[in-house]
Amino acid sequence: MEYSAEFGVMIVELHPGGPAQSADLQVNDIITHVNNEPVLEADTLLGLITGTQPGETIEIQILRQGKEKTISVRVGERPIQQN
């Protein structure tokens, strides 16, 4: 497996049936940009996504197996976490 991104956030888990999985994001993809904004760390990614209204579409640039790819994702509501 090749990880050659200079920055980004690796997907380690997907919510089953969630917007990311439905848009074909996969575990081990590295998210490098959201709407052309660089994703330097997980907090940056979370801020860019939570700043988007549910139902809006964002462009996510990823690195998958050494190849760049852009995926459109329709933002959903964030699931409520159970303790």
The pLDDT of residue 51 is 87
- Please check the confidence at residue 83 and state whether its pLDDT lies above 70: no
Nearest one of 10, 15, 71 to 45, comparing CA atoms? 10
State pTM to two decimals.
0.84
- CA distance linking residue 15 with residue 5, whole number of Å: 24
pLDDT digits (tens, 9 = 90+) for 23-78: 999 999 999 999 999 999 999 999 998 888 989 999 999 999 999 999 999 988 76
Structural domains in the chain plus CATH codes: 9-74 (2.30.42.10)
Is residue 11's pLDDT more than 90? Answer: yes
